[in-house]
Structure 1
Amino acid sequence: MTDTQNRTLHFRELGLMDYLPAFEYQEKLMKEIIELKLKNRDRTDEIYEETPNYLLFVEHPHVYTLGKSGHEENMLANSEKLKEINATFVHTNRGGDITYHGFGQMVGYPILDLDNFKSDIHLYMRNLEEVIIRVLADYGLKGERSEGETGVWLDIGKPYARKICAMGVKTSKWVTMHGFALNVNTDLRYFEYIIACGIKDKGVTSLQRELEREFSDEEMAEVKERIKKHFCAVFEASLV
């Protein structure tokens, strides 16, 4: 690591927030980091300002988001059904197809300058998966990767393979936004209205379903602490 790299993470708990305000906040942070990188690049002296990194936690009300490479036909509910189930539908600029965010789901948005870590998107995605795999191991579950399919799964290679954590990111100038969505107390019935991530032959699950118990507020807080701990370990970062 050079003396211009910064692996400090500024942690921010956003609480319950609609998708679009959270999206706009991510974009604001990303823009600020990119502007600082460009300023550093154009400097004629030897002084550089460290680019910051952020880790945001948030919970969204019912929303379906479609990535820029997604297919709208994977949204199975029409506008009347969306209104009936009190959900919204948003096109977004992350990679990946369609997914669901809702109450009881732990959403993490790392806004990182990968030049502070390693400028490798493939490695970044595998590291995000590793964070969640380690969290699941804390609860006695074996999280796995599925070749060619981003995210974390259970029982890959079996007829009842199921996704427990979806992932999708966007990068610009090696700065990331978007991230991961871990199903904890998530109402899985909402996945019935989409072909989740465009994958037809695998299901979805949650910590609640796998462990056969609902997580209390205190236990949800514990999940967040475990994510923070493993994130710092995997990314060799410190949290403030």
Structure 2
Amino acid sequence: MSELIVKRLGRVDYLPTEQAMREFTATRDASTPDELWLVEHPPVFTLGQAGLAEHLLQAGDIPLVKTERGGQITYHGPGQVVIYMMLDLKRRGIMVREWVRRIEGAIILTLADYGITGVRKDGAPGIYVGQGTHEGAKIAALGLKVKRGCTYHGLSFNVDMDLTPFLHINPCGYAGLETVDMKTLGVTATWADVAEQLAQSLVSQWQADESQA
């Protein structure tokens, strides 16, 4: 089993963090340990590699950054757990689609620990609220980049944040898609506690064999 290191980097700017991910991936070799980076970003909109700028409806003072990840536009800001995944899927023997399924499973399990039902939607990566007043709202987003069988970028998970900027975009390219956080759903939790719980769930999914995941 390859080593998986969890790094807790705190609140960091988006651009230098993305550059660090690219450098890590470009310089790693067959013996480089895999890493998860737990971070929180100042307000920023990010646009995926094939993203359409028209999904940004109102920028205001929030910068827009074009990235190498998959997906359309999303928002990162304080109160959101972001976990970047520098993982060698080829070495671990996991296909990209399978790893995406496991990421979604880790998010669903973490939400369940806080009494929230999370569900998948066919053709729309990420996790959505499965019941209640906010059924169908998005609470977590995914966006990976894969080079030479290795991933970077990762997921964002809304804990307790100002959701207003999501109204200024078509989240993940979907006009009118509601975005929520745990606080909106009546759950009080700290960023640090949720980050740790989600990271450990991801570690478990990474280490599980096909029958356990």
Q: Structure 1-normalised TM-score?
A: 0.82
Q: Report the Cα distance in structure 1 between the residues aligned to 2:157 and 2:135, rounded to whole angstroms.
A: 19
Aligned mates of 1:119, 1:110 — CA distance in 2: 14
Judging by fraction of residues, say which structure has more helix: 1
SS of corresponding position for 2:144: strand
Amino acid across the alignment from 1:233: S
| Alignment partner, residue 24 of structure 1 | 19
Q: Where do 5+ consecutive residues of structure 2 fail to align?
A: 209-213
C-alpha displacement of 1:227: 1.1
Structure 1, unaligned stretches of length 5 or more?
A: 1-5, 38-49
| Matched residue type, 1:76 | L
1:144-163 aligned at under 5 Å gives the runs: 144-155=119-130, 160-163=135-138
Is the contact between residue 127 and residue 234 of structure 1 (CA under 8 Å) also seen in structure 2?
yes
Structure 1 position 203 matched with structure 2 position 189: no
Alignment partner, residue 121 of structure 1: 96
**Residue 235 (1) aligns with residue 194 (2):** no
State the aligned residue count.
207
Distance 2:156 2:8 in 1: 15
Match status 1:74 vs 2:55 = yes
Indicate the structure (1 or 2) with the bigger Cα radius of gyration. Answer: 1
Give the Cα separation in 2 of the matches to 1:138 and 1:148.
26
After superposition, the Cα gap between the structure-2 partners of 1:234 and 1:178, relative to the gap in structure 1 and judged at 3 Å, is same
CA contact (8 A) 1:93 1:170 kept: yes
Task: Tell me the CA shift for residue 188 of structure 1.
Answer: 0.6
Q: Using the TM superposition, name which of 121-130 and 195-204 deviates more.
A: 195-204
Once superposed, what is the RMSD of the aligned Cα atoms? 1.7
Deviation string 1:129-161 (CA, Å, 9 cap, x unpaired) is: 1111110010011111000000011138x9841
Distance 1:159 1:133, change over 3 A: closer
Kindly indicate whether the alpha-carbon contact (under 8 Å) linking 2:69 and 2:144 is maintained by their aligned counterparts in 1. yes
Deviation at 1:228, TM superposition (A): 2.2
Give the aligned partner of residue 105 of structure 2: 130
Using the size of structure 2 for normalisation, the TM-score is: 0.91
- Given candidates 12, 21, 25, the residue that maps to 2:7 is 12
Residue 140 (structure 2) pairs with residue 165 (structure 1): yes
Q: Is the 8 A contact 1:17 1:61 kept in 2?
A: yes
Q: CA deviation at 1:205?
A: 0.5
- Alignment CA distance shift 1:189-1:32 (3 Å): same
Matches within 5 A, 1:91-130: 91-130=66-105
Tell me the secondary structure at the aligned position of residue 203 of structure 1: coil
Contact 2:127–2:138 at 8 Å: present in 1 too?
yes
